[in-house]
């Protein structure tokens, strides 16, 4: 995975003055849009779109110092007007292009390289478990993609669940963890933008078929799951675990992601200081080239 990410950095570097297509990114990294964006943002500390913009402005900065005209640079790096370029350049560097040309001010943003950095020697607890085909029955809606913090749209979805729906879900629940699952799938494809929507389901795992008209059902194919238990303050511990999965565990593991819904659950015990959660990711063994 690190090799693919570094290949992408090389590709971006040679195409800074062109439109960079999501199809080409997907081909290089071999990940879905959603998983790639999460992994990149956790590893790089910014979105891919922001990285590309920073690299373009950094190279533009050098060219301005070397005598290039603002008009030429603005259009070369994809801006529709000199005003748009000047505004973006000032937001990035703190200076107008004309000031950079006059005073030879340089701000740099170097090309990224990815490598494994083992921090603190803290191991992640996880297990690989095969699960047979099962269903998840519950309620769902399209919600904005949000990597950090509480998603208000999901909170609103939870509030819409009626007592009847809750009882019906409990009737069907016959698989671990026998409690509410949060399930995310059907992500919008938009590689360069940190926006879009996904479908989020709140429901229970079951071997049964859903007989109720006011509940929905999705089927999860048989596969391996990487399961990451975590315990601590909620939701920060759960979010930190997810970040480490993408930025540390996945790039160095012998597994790669499978395109199935992401699943998590949390056991609430009345206080947010010491909450138990699990994050489930569908995986398969990497095939060595």
What is the β-pairing status of strands 275-285 and 223-232?
Answer: antiparallel
Q: Could you tell me if 52 and 167 lie in one domain?
A: no
Query: Is it the case that residue 165 has pLDDT exceeding 90?
Result: yes
Reported as a pLDDT band with limits 50, 70 and 90, residue 265 is: very high
Mean pLDDT computed over every residue of the chain: 89
- 118 belongs to a structural domain: no
The pLDDT of 125-150, averaged and rounded, is 91
Please give the Cα distance from 206 to 176 (Å, whole number). Answer: 9
**Cα-to-chain-centroid distance, residue 110:** 23
List the CATH number of the domain containing 260: 3.20.80.10
- The pLDDT assigned to 120 comes to 47
- Integer angstrom CA distances of residue 178 from 87, 134, 169, 173, 265: 54, 13, 10, 6, 10
- 121 belongs to a structural domain: no
Query: Is it the case that residue 289 has pLDDT exceeding 70?
Result: no
Provide the domain limits for residue 272.
127-285
Please give the Cα distance from 169 to 190 (Å, whole number). Answer: 34
- 163 belongs to a structural domain: yes
Q: Which has more pLDDT, 98 or 273?
A: 98
Q: Could you tell me if 199 and 270 lie in one domain?
A: yes
Q: Could you tell me if 62 and 164 lie in one domain?
A: no
Q: Could you tell me if 140 and 261 lie in one domain?
A: yes
- The pLDDT assigned to 72 comes to 96
Q: Give the bridge partners for 127, in sequence order.
A: 227
List the CATH number of the domain containing 55: 1.10.10.60
- 112 belongs to a structural domain: no
pLDDT in tens, 63-114: 999 999 999 999 999 999 999 999 999 999 999 999 999 999 888 899 988 7
- 120 belongs to a structural domain: no
Q: Could you tell me if 173 and 54 lie in one domain?
A: no
Count how many domains the chain has.
2
The pLDDT of 271-283, averaged and rounded, is 91
Highest mean pLDDT range out of 68-72, 192-196, 242-246, 284-288?
68-72
């Amino acid at each position: 995975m690190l090799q693919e990410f570094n290949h992408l950095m090389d590709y971006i570097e040679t195409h800074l003055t062109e439109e960079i297509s999501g199809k080409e990114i997907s081909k290089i990294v071999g990940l879905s849009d959603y998983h790639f964006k999460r992994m990149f943002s956790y590893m790089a500390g910014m979105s891919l779109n922001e990285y590309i913009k920073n690299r373009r402005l950094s190279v533009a900065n050098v060219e301005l110092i070397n005598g290039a005209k603002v008009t030429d640079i603005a259009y070369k790096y994809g801006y529709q007007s000199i005003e748009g370029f000047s505004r973006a350049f000032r937001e990035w560097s703190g200076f107008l292009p004309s000031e950079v040309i006059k005073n030879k001010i340089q701000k740099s943003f170097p090309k990224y390289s990815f490598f494994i950095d083992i921090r603190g020697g803290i191991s992640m607890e996880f297990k690989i478990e095969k699960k047979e085909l099962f269903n998840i029955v519950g309620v769902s809606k399209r919600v904005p993609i949000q990597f950090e913090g509480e998603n208000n749209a999901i909170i609103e979805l939870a509030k819409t669940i009626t007592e009847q729906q809750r009882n019906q879900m409990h009737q069907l629940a016959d698989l671990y963890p026998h409690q509410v699952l949060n399930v995310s799938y059907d992500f919008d494809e938009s590689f360069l933008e940190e926006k879009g929507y996904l479908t989020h389901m709140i429901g229970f795992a079951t071997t049964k078929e859903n007989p109720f008209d006011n509940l929905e059902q999705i089927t999860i194919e048989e596969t391996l799951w990487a399961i990451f238990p975590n315990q601590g303050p909620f939701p920060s511990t759960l979010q930190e675990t997810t970040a480490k999965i993408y930025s540390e565990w996945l790039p160095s593991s012998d597994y790669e992601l499978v395109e199935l819904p992401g699943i998590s659950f949390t056991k609430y015990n009345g206080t947010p200081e010491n909450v138990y959660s699990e994050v489930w990711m569908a995986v398969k063994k990497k095939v060595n080239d």
